[in-house]
Structures are given as structure tokens and as C-alpha cells.
Amino acid sequence: MDVILHIGAHRTGTSSLQAWLLQNETLLAQAGTAVWGPERTRAGLFAGLIKRPDLVTAEDDLLARRAATRIAMEIDRLEDTGLRRLIVSEENVMGTMPVCLDHATLYPDLRGRLDRVAEAIGPHLTGVALSVRRPDQWWASVLAVAQARGAKAPGAEFLDRLARHPRSWRRVVEVVRTAFGLPVTVWSFEGMLGAHAAQLQAMAPQADLPAGLYDQRCIRNAAPRLAAAGRGAGHRGGGARYMPFSTRQCGAMTLRYLEDLAWLRSAPPGVVYVEMDAETPGAHPGAAAEEEGLFHDEQKRGLG
């Protein structure tokens, strides 16, 4: 059985994809593809696997070993039923947004977290997938969620620190590739937002897309519109999306992102960058029609 691990990232449409996969779980299973999302991974299946490396205890290690056994048994059970592949989608494998904010960088403890997951389910994995997003908009979305949960608006010094930090999505992809030693499939939030079927086929090119797949065309876990409530720095009025960075900062962050995308397009060894075009099966370009606000992007429930 092929097992593909989708690890996020946060704020890149991951919850929307997970909701779509769950909506179509029965049809996908009939076509040979099983799905595990947060409703499974956060209900005990990944107990002991997802935690800050510096906080791991002996008890966590015991839980992780038990989780590895349960995961292997579940994969064997699925294979015995005739299923050909399993998509596991859990963004907290990469880390959490609060930790990113605490360190003012993208997933600072990524390698330690990935090593724990790779040890537990690595023998069954055939590929890893993640999505990336323009850094100024990614951080603005993370900050909006943090403020909606009670955090203070960021100061100018902190915003400048975020804007100047050299760690980029390229480095994140390189760490993922090294940790798992497997092909890493990457797509951009901007290029494939809402194109759930295309994202599935990017992760699993051999997967069948059965007829009748349901797509509500809504964005789950959208960033709160702080501007609409007049909260926080970056208020622009008129219901505009929250954007605390200056034009200069946005420009510098976007330039680094374009360099990341150019690197991805150069097809570095072990990395497959997927862009949606008119020939992409199942693709439905364009923004979703409805936003439903915060969904199941919880950083709690034992996933610290």
C-alpha cells in the first residue's frame, strides 16, 4: 500500500482540503484511496508523535511506540480490504503556529518533529506533500489567528524581525526531503487554492478520481477579518484582509518567495513542484464561494 503524508503547511488551505477529503471519503475508498485527517490523527492515533522535541518525555516515547504499532496494524487492515493507497493529512506534524511566532521563523523545530514521525510510520511511506504561501500573507494570516485567540497585535520591531528572517520555504522543503528521504511534492497556495481534486492528484498521481465527487467550494479555517472589527495593526478599513507589513516589507518577502518558486521550478532532486493549468485533471481554478471561519486547526488536544 502506498502511504502519502500531507503535512500542511498551516494557513495554506489545509483544513479545506481535509474537509473535502472527508466529504468524499466513501467515494474515494471505493476507488482505492483511504483517508486519515485530523479526525483520526488527533483522536489518539498519533499520540506521542506530535510534540515539541524539547518537551518530549519518556512517557511520550512510550506513547509513540504504541502509536507506531497501531498505525502499522491499521495500514495492514486497510491493505487487506483491497485499498491501494492511504492519504494522511496532518499539518501539526510540521509544528504549530505559536512556536513559529515564539521564534519568529518558519517551523524552527521541524527536523526534530519530522524525525519522530518518520521513525513511526516511515517504513510505510512512499511520499510527502506540502503547500507553501507568500510569506507576507502567511505571517499576516498566522498573526490574525493569534490575535483572534487573544494575542496582542505585533509591534514594529517584531514585524521587521519576521520580514528580515532568512529562513524560507526552500529551507523547509529541504528539511522535509532530508528527514524522510522520499520524494516531496509541493504546490503553492496561490496557484491551487480550492483545487482539491488537483491537490489529491498532485499527491497521488495514480489515484482514480471517481465520478460524483462532492465539492462545497468553501474555505475552511479562513483567517479572521480583524480589520472588519477594527482590531490590530494593519487595519485598512472597508473589510480588507489584515496586513500588518509595510509595502517595503511585503516587497522584500515576496522577492524571497519568488526565488523559492524559481528553485522549485528548477526541479531539484527529490522535489516535484506542481502547478495547475488547463490540463490538470479535476482542477477548478478560482476562489471558493464561501468562508466558514475557524474550523479544526486546533493547536491543543495534546498536539503542542
175 located within any domain:
yes
299 located within any domain:
no
pLDDT confidence of 276, banded at 50, 70, 90? confident
Dump pLDDT digits (tens) for 231-241: 444 544 345 78
What confidence score (pLDDT) does residue 158 get? 98
pLDDT confidence of 301, banded at 50, 70, 90? very low
157 located within any domain:
yes
Average pLDDT value for residue range 158-170: 97
Dump pLDDT digits (tens) for 2-30: 999 999 999 999 999 999 999 999 999 99
230 located within any domain:
yes
222 located within any domain:
yes
Burial classification of residue 77, based on how many CB atoms lie within 10 Å of its CB (0-12 exposed, 13-18 middle, 19 or more buried): exposed
The domain tally of the chain equals 1
Average pLDDT value for residue range 101-125: 95
This prediction has a pTM of 0.86
303 located within any domain:
no
Cα–Cα distance between 238 and 222 in angstroms, integer?
18
128 located within any domain:
yes
Q: What is the mean pLDDT of the chain?
A: 87
165 located within any domain:
yes
* Residue span of the structural domain in which 170 resides: 2-291
Higher pLDDT pick, 101 / 123: 101
